[in-house]
Amino acid sequence: MIAFESGLFIRIEEMTGPRAPVPRPLQSGFVVDCGYRVLGLYSPAETSDAYMMLSNDRDEIWFISTRHVRTAGMGPEDAFRLPLSQLSAGL
């Protein structure tokens, strides 16, 4: 079982290069100056990667590799995304 904090928001820091996992979030409706609420986690059995379920700026649900994200702070549980300046980490 994987448990996570329900108010956790992450920021996009896209990994580059030929070994970067897909989908690439900056090409999939995400932006770097926004914090995204983690809606869920998924770790398929056939890979050692884990994926965060996020809602992008087009209100689409995506599974983004954890290698593309960093923690941004804690936020209200009723928001899907917030400007980074509004999150409790004060980035």
pLDDT digits (tens, 9 = 90+) for 2-59: 667 889 999 999 999 999 999 999 999 999 999 999 999 998 888 788 999 999 999 9
Question: Which residue's entry shows tokens 């920021």?
Answer: 11
Q: CA quadruple 74, 91, 64, 20: dihedral positive or negative?
A: negative
Q: Which two tokens stand for residue 43?
A: 């770790």
Q: Provide the 10 A C-beta neighbour count for residue 26.
A: 14
- This prediction's pTM: 0.87
